[in-house]
Homo-oligomer: A and B are copies of this chain.
Amino acid sequence: MLNIDPRSSKPIYEQIIEQVKENIMKGILQPGDRLPSVREMSTLLTVNPNTVAKAYQELEREKAIETIRGKGTFIAQNYQPQRDKEKLQEVRDLLKKVVIESHYMGLGREEIMAMLVDIYRELEKR
């Protein structure tokens, strides 16, 4: 289900976080679905259990998943997105970086809009 690239400069635990969120958004992971246990997941991804645990803990802090004592980890039922100013600024900064980098690759507003549409198509499939 998840696709980890240990060579990437992006930390493995962040890759796990991003991909779980992506799968939730795509509907591949539904509220109430059980995630593989830390141990199972670490075997699946051939990654250290601590690394998986770190990703799960962060996802739990963001309330995307819930841990039920002794039973395992589940996609959260009522995940209420929370906009705080900081997070918003962070996302805006990221988007600004996209614009600047795109500019230096010769991509303008239209091309980014197109990419955006394309990404939504990818994420909403299901």
A99 to B81, CA, bound (A): 14
- Which of B25, B66, B83, B105 contacts A82 (CB under 8 A)? B105
**Nearest B-chain residue to A88, judged by Cβ:** B105
Residue A102, interface by CB 8 Å: yes
On whether the beta carbons of B119 and A105 are closer than 8 Å, the reply is: no
Residue A18, interface by CB 8 Å: yes
**Nearest B-chain residue to A102, judged by Cβ:** B91
Mask of A94-126 contacts with B, CB within 8 angstroms, 1/0: 111111111111110100110110011011000
Chain A residues in the interface with B (C-beta under 8 A): 6-7, 11-12, 18, 21-22, 25, 48, 62, 64, 66-71, 79, 81-83, 87-88, 90-92, 94-107, 109, 112-113, 115-116, 119-120, 122-123
Q: 9 nearest interchain CB pairs? A: A81-B106, A83-B105, A6-B68, A95-B98, A81-B104, A94-B98, A96-B119, A81-B105, A91-B101
